Structure 1
Amino acid sequence: MEDNQRLFLISQTYATLFSVTNKIQTAGDDAIDGLTSRQMMAFIAIAHLPEGGASLNAIASKLGATKQSTAQIINNLKGKGYLQAEKNAADGRSVNLVITETGKEVFAKSGEQGWDFLQRLFREFSDEELELLWKLLKKVYEFDGKKQDGFEAEGREI
């Protein structure tokens, strides 16, 4: 393939990936009551971190996001009473984020709506296509040599 053609494909792939993620986030926000897509993913990240290990840095790392953008999400959830900060028993300098009972109720309701949204989003994909898409997205994620600290393992129940 010529360099110009490859550059065209790379730029089109990037632009499409960028617009697809924005479109999915917006549609997810519309489909889920009580939480935005990013807030929902923060809850899921907490569930996939060890008990007592849900620090701001750990959540940001799990989401592949900056500490600053994650702090905005977390502060919003704390302001709504869905999360609370507790001192880490093992390290007094560290703070763990814990989902409150109200947060658990909102997450449960939003989780059902989120599952319905995901079913609609991927309804035209075969199992093989989903597996390939996941594999390719993980490959894109690892462009900088860092593996995704993903959500493959079972999360704690919220």
Structure 2
Amino acid sequence: MTLELIHDILFSTKQLLKIKEIYFMDYSNELKELFLMNQTYATLFTLTNKIQIEGDKYFGILTSRQYMTILSILHLPEEETTLNNIARKMGTSKQNINRLVANLEKNGYVDVIPSPHDKRAINVKVTDLGKKVMVTCSRTGINFMADVFHEFTKDELETLWSLLKKMYRFNGEEQDGFEEDANFMEYEEIDKIKSEALEEFAKRRNRVNKND
């Protein structure tokens, strides 16, 4: 073996080692970030399914998706409760909302009426029965929220909500949230129900805060 050949082999080996070192050095952070993204996505995916199943057990009368559909309707202006607007509020497709609304209408929880603004569209109106069911489910929903977030402090909840809203904007679209009061607060008994539910909720949260 000539000295020139030995030099070429050694040079090639060193270059390969250097390239390998540079690759892992330059992309170690990216590999870690990608790993965290994959794990976060998988956790969100499985968590969504888990929460939906557990929510079905809590609400009883309604499924989690039915509950959120009615809640979305109640958080929209009465003349703007089209299928498209409900779908946008829930972050899903019009086809999915169409199926959910059809089932809710069958059970007497909503009525489908022509849109006053668009003859091609329909509006979905929550019936009195639907509102009564929502009041009942909202009470159990408070217990559900307390159980799901029982390990979170108020500061952690604020951080989590902020991060989730940030993630929602990944495609440039802002979340159409649920911050405003829903349109079913005209029931006389609502204040009593809210007071009783919040009293129980406060007891649960106080136990959490004492353990921090």
Q: Is the structural similarity TM-score above 0.5?
A: yes
Q: Which runs of at least 4 in structure 1 moved beyond 4 Å after TM superposition?
A: none
The match for 1:60 is 87
Percent of pairs identical after alignment?
44
Task: Identify the match of residue 102 of structure 1 among 119, 124, 129.
Answer: 129
Structure 2 stretches lacking a partner, 5+ long: 1-27, 186-212
Q: Post-superposition shift, 1:6?
A: 1.4
Find the aligned partners of 2:131 and 2:176 in 1 and give their Cα distance: 24
Is 1:142 the counterpart of 2:169? The answer is yes
Task: Identify the match of residue 91 of structure 1 among 115, 118, 137.
Answer: 118
- Map 1:1-158; keep pairs closer than 5 Å: 2-157=29-184
Q: What do the CA deviations read for 1:54-98 (whole angstroms, capped 9, x no partner)?
A: 111110000011111111111110111111111122333321101
- The one of the two structures with greater contact order (alpha-carbon pairs below 8 A, sep at least 6) is 1
Structure 1 stretches lacking a partner, 5+ long: none
Instruction: Give the TM-score normalised by structure 1.
Output: 0.94
CA RMSD of aligned residues (A): 1.3
**One-letter amino acid of the structure 2 residue matched with residue 121 of structure 1:** V
Find the aligned partners of 1:101 and 1:156 in 2 and give their Cα distance: 12
Q: What do the CA deviations read for 1:106-141 (whole angstroms, capped 9, x no partner)?
A: 111111111111111112211100000000000111
Find the aligned partners of 1:144 and 1:15 in 2 and give their Cα distance: 19
